[in-house]
Amino acid sequence: MRPVRYVFLSGLLSCCLCWLAVPVSGATRETLYDQLIATTAYGQGLEPALVKAVIKCESGFNPHAQSPKGAQGLMQLMPGTQAMLGVSQPFDPQHN
């Protein structure tokens, strides 16, 4: 495998492990976006569980999350990525 794949796979593994460590008490926030995640993920050819794991690790299901480096929203998109993807409302779960 190429080094890039190792980096991607280690990040993916990290997200999956984070997903497994989810406390039961936070289930309400995590299920709030289930339908939106499923519809969007399947529409992009992705597994909803993977998208949900990334959201859990990146923002903890907080649509208003903002990192010190400038990443925003559920998926913590950086401004450059937002521009590349045409995301104009990064804090709106339907756009992020």
Give catalytic residues, as residue numbers.
58
Can you give the pLDDT at residue 4? Answer: 46
pLDDT digits (tens, 9 = 90+) for 38-80: 999 999 999 999 999 999 999 999 999 999 999 999 999 999 9
Q: Which residue has the higher pLDDT, 28 or 82?
A: 82
Which pTM value belongs to this model? 0.69
Sign (positive or negative) of CA dihedral 67, 72, 75, 77: negative
Please compute the mean of the pLDDT values over residues 12-30 and round it to a whole number.
58
For residue 59, what are the β-bridge partners?
Answer: none
CATH fold of 3-85: Lysozyme (1.10.530)
